[in-house]
């Protein structure tokens, strides 16, 4: 049970990192969280990186990833990778749901169906 809790902790930190990075990059680009297609150029990427590096949410996102990675090392030293690694997909589910509510990202039937399939797979893995 301790190992499962540590896996969940690591996954939640990864989710927090993704959400924080998305928010921070949205602020750094000046575009908020709306989906705007930008032309990719060296100067646009450089401007985004300059703004992102100094953004507290981007820094927080990377810090979450660092702690998540450290906890992951402990996890894989204790449990089979074939058990632990698929549980990372819980993070995909959480990021999708949080993206809907925090960033107003759209859901469609395919995303919901895919998420339900992931949930079924996670359930089956935890039963083994």
How many domains does the chain contain in total? 1
- What is the CA angle 70-73-76, rounded to 5? 150
Domain that holds residue 86: 2-127
State residue 35's pLDDT score: 47
State residue 34's pLDDT score: 45
Sign, CA torsion 123/87/77/70: negative
Nearest to 91 by CA among 65, 55, 110, 113: 65
- For residue 30, the SS3 value is coil
pLDDT tens, 69-119? Answer: 999 999 999 999 988 988 888 898 899 899 999 999 988 989 889 888 988
State residue 47's pLDDT score: 75
Give the end-to-end CA distance of the chain in Å, rounded to a whole number: 14
């Amino acid at each position: 049970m301790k190992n499962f809790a540590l896996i969940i902790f690591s996954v939640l930190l990864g989710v927090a990192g993704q959400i924080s990075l998305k928010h921070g990059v949205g602020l750094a680009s000046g575009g908020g969280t709306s989906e705007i297609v930008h032309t990719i150029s060296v100067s646009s990427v450089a401007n985004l990186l300059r703004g992102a590096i100094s953004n507290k949410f981007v820094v927080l996102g990377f810090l979450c990833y660092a702690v998540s990675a450290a906890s992951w090392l402990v996890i894989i030293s204790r449990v089979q990778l074939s058990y632990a690694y698929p549980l990372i997909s819980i993070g995909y589910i959480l990021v999708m749901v949080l993206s809907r509510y925090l960033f107003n990202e759209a859901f469609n039937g395919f995303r919901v169906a895919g998420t339900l399939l992931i949930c079924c797979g996670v359930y089956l893995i935890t039963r083994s």
